[in-house]
Amino acid sequence: MPHRIAYTALAPRLLPVALGEEYPLPENILEMRRITKRYPGVTALDEVDFYLRSGEIHALVGENGAGKSTLIKILAGAESKDAGEVKLDGRVVEIMQPRQAKDLGISVIYQDFGLVPHLSISENIMLGREPIRPGPGGFIDWPALHGVAAQVMTELGLNLSPRTPVSRLSVAQKQMVEIAKAVSTRARIIVMDEPSATLTLHELDRLFDLIRALVRQGVSVVYISHRLEEVFTIADRVTVLRDGKVAAVKPICQTSREDLIRSMVGREMAGDYPKRVDSLGETILAVENISRAGVLHGISFTLRKGEILGITGLVGAGRTELARAIFGADRVDSGWVMLEGRKLSLSSPKNAIAQGISLATEDRKEQGLVLGMTVRENTTLANLQAVSRGAFVDRARESGAALDFVRKLAIKTPGIEQKVRNLSGGNQQKVVLAKWLFANSKVVIFDEPTRGIDVGAKQEIYQLMRRLASDGIGIIMISSELPEVMGMSDRILVLHEGRIAAEIPAGQVDGETIMRYATGGGQAS
């Protein structure tokens, strides 16, 4: 095998080129030329070119709906192209199904993991490729199966028992198992679709170390992410897609965050975060001494009308558990919640919704929406009595309500009868918001409101949140993204091990200070 140069963020190979020095570039392992894909009424890809070099980490970015997923599905054999050609090592290949892609050394790790929860790590790694004992019967050679899986895990530095059921793993550990599964097939090209969506900063560092180790072994990586700071940390080159076309292809050292955003959205962005309001209303929500054994410990705070209260902390600090407790989804051992001076029952989400509290969950696909239902049906789901006559839903009233929110929130959809599974992440989040606004919510809790959403859609969500606040709604925003917390919040609560470690006014904190409190290095203010 010829020598491959592994140029990564730790050892940037592209920098001398930017300075004008002559270096031979690695050969292209993958060439996707003039790829075109049309669906009824829309062209998803319009003569897209994408090239991946040997030993390269190549970022693929763009707004939701730009064509990233379609391009990768064509590479993975999950979708067929209408025109264009795919070359591997200079040879034209036709990838008609996922099995062919795997046989060619292409592995895709999707954002929604393809693991079987009740099977062990080793069974998942070797799924469909189980070694068979010699002789009649066709029985699985279990020692060999566990041995192969253990070897791959050792190569990747995964300190887990291969016999552990996947259901017991954290999200980060599941991510590593997916990578081990890809490596076990001896994949030469690994595509990672939003791999960091649910990882902490420490887990993200571990993922980057693993990616760099793969590159040193000659693997080429396509890295898809909406988080541009990650792109600048890990990638060698970046391709930007916009509206199904290539908008830019650049070495990462020859571009900037602002340049990429302009390429992605086709316009200048007017600042990341909307302006805060100068004055807030009276207290709308008071949380008093909420506790739950082993999870939450004496949590107390207030929320004012028109305020965006940011809550942050490390994974496991109790952020989502606090939101679920206020919403009545999880029981509490002590404490209470008061809304506009009235003590509330925390017995169920139904009671919380009826009293004016809503929760936009971090997993909108599993818990926030019914994907097989339409925009119309999801919009009214939390307040059906408002569009019902007796026991029956009034279709005309329901349609009118849905159309009103499509206009108000600028939801991009062919119509209110579109199933929400077919919308982009940003527009799905808007439908979640429409559902809670239609339920006449006075307090909206957003848990990771922009997870998996592109730069342009993020700004729209931020503007909508600020607009809701200006209308007097109280907003609690839980987020792992420190720039988002600092940019959007009027006040910030930092949680550590189920307790409030700090309460900080907006504009008086930096990321380093927040992380110090989040890791237990500061005293509560």
State pLDDT tens for residues 381-434.
Answer: 888 888 888 888 889 999 999 999 899 888 889 899 999 988 887 888 889 888
Q: How far apart are CA 478 and CA 320, in angstroms?
A: 8
Considering the four listed CATH numbers 1.10.150.20, 3.30.43.10, 3.40.50.300, 3.90.79.10, the one that applies to the domain covering 1-105+190-195+220-266 is 3.40.50.300
Considering the four listed CATH numbers 3.40.50.300, 3.40.30.10, 3.40.109.10, 3.30.450.20, the one that applies to the domain covering 270-356+441-525 is 3.40.50.300
pLDDT higher than 60, residue 26: yes
Query: What's the pLDDT score for residue 37?
Result: 94
What's the mean pLDDT in 69-78?
A: 93
Query: What's the pLDDT score for residue 1?
Result: 32
User: Which alpha helices (DSSP H) does 223-346 contain, by range?
Assistant: 228-234, 257-265, 319-326
CB-based contact 299:350 (threshold 8 Å): no
Query: What's the pLDDT score for residue 423?
Result: 86
Query: What's the pLDDT score for residue 16?
Result: 34
Q: How confident is the model at residue 323 (pLDDT cuts 50, 70, 90)?
A: very high
- Tell me: the pLDDT tens digits for 118-165? 999 999 999 888 889 887 777 899 999 999 999 888 877 778 889 999
User: Which alpha helices (DSSP H) does 190-256 contain, by range?
Assistant: 201-216, 228-234
Asked if domains 1-105+190-195+220-266 and 270-356+441-525 share a fold, the reply is: yes
Q: How far apart are CA 228 and CA 232, in angstroms?
A: 6
Distances in whole angstroms, Cα of residue 239 to Cα of each of 92, 190, 264, 315, 351: 22, 16, 10, 31, 48
Reported as type and span, the H/E element at residue 439 is none
Query: What's the pLDDT score for residue 181?
Result: 87
Place of tokens 């908008």: 247
For 3-17, 254-268, 270-284, 441-455, which range has the lowest pLDDT when averaged over its residues? 3-17
The top-scoring range by mean pLDDT among 32-41, 73-82, 194-203 is 73-82
Q: What is the mean pLDDT of the chain?
A: 84
Q: How confident is the model at residue 8 (pLDDT cuts 50, 70, 90)?
A: very low
For 48-62, 140-154, 180-194, 263-277, which range has the lowest pLDDT when averaged over its residues? 263-277
Q: How confident is the model at residue 199 (pLDDT cuts 50, 70, 90)?
A: low
pLDDT higher than 70, residue 10: no
Q: What percent of the chain has pLDDT over 70?
A: 90
In degrees and rounded to multiples of 5, residue 179 shows phi and psi of: -65, -40
CB-based contact 241:61 (threshold 8 Å): yes
**Token pair recorded at residue 440:** 């006449």
CB-based contact 7:14 (threshold 8 Å): yes
Query: What's the pLDDT score for residue 21?
Result: 39
pLDDT higher than 80, residue 83: yes
Query: What's the pLDDT score for residue 286?
Result: 96
Report the Cα 204 to chain-centroid distance in Å. Answer: 13
Domain ranges for the chain, please list them: 1-105+190-195+220-266, 109-132+140-186, 270-356+441-525, 370-440
What's the mean pLDDT in 298-305?
A: 95
Query: What's the pLDDT score for residue 522?
Result: 64
- Tell me: the pLDDT tens digits for 169-196? 877 788 888 888 888 888 899 998 888 7
**Token pair recorded at residue 131:** 């070694």
What's the mean pLDDT in 327-341?
A: 92
Q: How confident is the model at residue 268 (pLDDT cuts 50, 70, 90)?
A: low
CB-based contact 254:238 (threshold 8 Å): no
Radius of gyration of the chain from its Cα atoms, rounded to whole angstroms:
25
Query: What's the pLDDT score for residue 267?
Result: 56
pLDDT higher than 90, residue 49: yes
Query: What's the pLDDT score for residue 13?
Result: 35
What's the mean pLDDT in 480-493?
A: 87
Which residues lie closer than 8 Å to 110 by C-beta, 6 or more apart?
A: 193
pLDDT higher than 50, residue 203: yes
Side-chain-side CA neighbours of residue 319 (13 Å): 27
Q: What percent of the chain has pLDDT over 90?
A: 40
